[in-house]
Amino acid sequence: MAPNAEPENDFPWWLVILAVTGLWLLYEMLSDEVYNASLRALSKGLWITLAVAVVAYVGACGIGLGLAVMGMSKRIVLRQAARLYIEVMRGVPIIVLLLYVAFALVPAVISGLNWVAGDEVLRTRDVPLLWRAVFALMLAYSAFLAEIFRAGLQAVDKGQIEAAQALGLNGWQRFRHVRFPQAFRLILPPLGNDFVAMVKDSSLVAVLGISDVAQLAKVTAAGNFRYFETYNVAAFLYLVMTIGLSLALRRFETRMRSRGRDGS
């Protein structure tokens, strides 16, 4: 074992410390009037935060997988189109993309649709800012996920794909039964990391006034002028979400590796 490697069976003292500290902080928050009020106010944004993260991530995975397949296509037009999309999206900051999609792209698309229809079939205000934010996060993260999917698909042994082809499986069947399942096990850790990152980056939707945890923290602090306590609560809630998700994903990865070793 390498000198800097962490033993797999090492007792998670860090988790014990975090759990004890978290429980103590929760007790203090429930006991203090200011903290308690902030906790109740900010907790209302948890569902929005998680919903934005989950919906945007699922959509980004779908787009990213499609981009990865396009990037490995035999057709140069598809490969170049995928590369162009990926480089552009990775080069634009997420907060800029959020503002661009919300206030430039969506109105432009709606204007184009109305022009084609020859009538006002849809108005800009008919598209909620929440869905504009979700769409922007999907576009941003799909570029990063595309590279993860591409690396995983290319890492699958070509001999197994050739064997599946020799057995008479067509392209879709080879992808569905051979290539993607093996690639998924390989890329599960980075996919999990990006999902946790999505939960954190979902706080950027606060710039659009969406009532997630970050936006409610800003509004609450502006009302009670207790910035220290309010943002402590916000940080606490985000830590609970991200650490909880990290532990759940780590357990899922362990189970997937066990199934892979068992051949099931």
The per-residue pLDDT for 260 is: 62
CA distances from residue 22 to 27, 159, 186, 227, 238 in whole angstroms, order as listed: 9, 50, 33, 20, 12
Whether 140 shows a pLDDT value over 70: the answer reads yes
Mean pLDDT of 167-171: 77
Whether 171 shows a pLDDT value over 60: the answer reads yes
User: Residue 172 corresponds to which tokens in the numbers above?
Assistant: 């879709």
Whether 1 shows a pLDDT value over 50: the answer reads no
> How far apart, in whole angstroms, are the C-alpha atoms of residue 160 and residue 186?
15
pLDDT tens digits, one per residue of 87-114? 999 999 999 999 999 999 999 999 998 8
Sequence length of the chain is: 264
User: Residue 35 corresponds to which tokens in the numbers above?
Assistant: 């903290």
Whether 263 shows a pLDDT value over 60: the answer reads no
The per-residue pLDDT for 206 is: 92
Whether 2 shows a pLDDT value over 60: the answer reads no
38 part of a folded domain: no
Quick one: DSSP state of residue 7? Answer: P
53 part of a folded domain: yes
123 part of a folded domain: yes
193 part of a folded domain: yes
Rounded to the nearest integer, the mean pLDDT of the chain is: 88
Q: Which domain holds residue 168?
A: 48-257
Whether 228 shows a pLDDT value over 60: the answer reads yes
18 part of a folded domain: no
52 part of a folded domain: yes
The per-residue pLDDT for 6 is: 53
94 part of a folded domain: yes
pLDDT tens digits, one per residue of 107-134? 999 999 888 888 877 888 888 999 999 9
| 117: exposed, middle or buried (Cβ count in 10 Å: 0-12, 13-18, 19+) | exposed
Whether 3 shows a pLDDT value over 80: the answer reads no
> How far apart, in whole angstroms, are the C-alpha atoms of residue 142 and residue 68?
10
The per-residue pLDDT for 25 is: 87
Instruction: Kindly state the percentage of the chain with pLDDT values over 90.
Output: 56
Lowest-confidence region among 7-16, 69-78, 176-185: 7-16
> How far apart, in whole angstroms, are the C-alpha atoms of residue 35 and residue 41?
10
**In this structure, what CATH number is given to the domain that contains residue 91?**
1.10.3720.10
Lowest-confidence region among 2-6, 21-25, 49-53, 166-170: 2-6
Q: Say how many domains are in the chain.
A: 1
The per-residue pLDDT for 11 is: 79
User: Residue 246 corresponds to which tokens in the numbers above?
Assistant: 């990290």
The per-residue pLDDT for 173 is: 81
78 part of a folded domain: yes
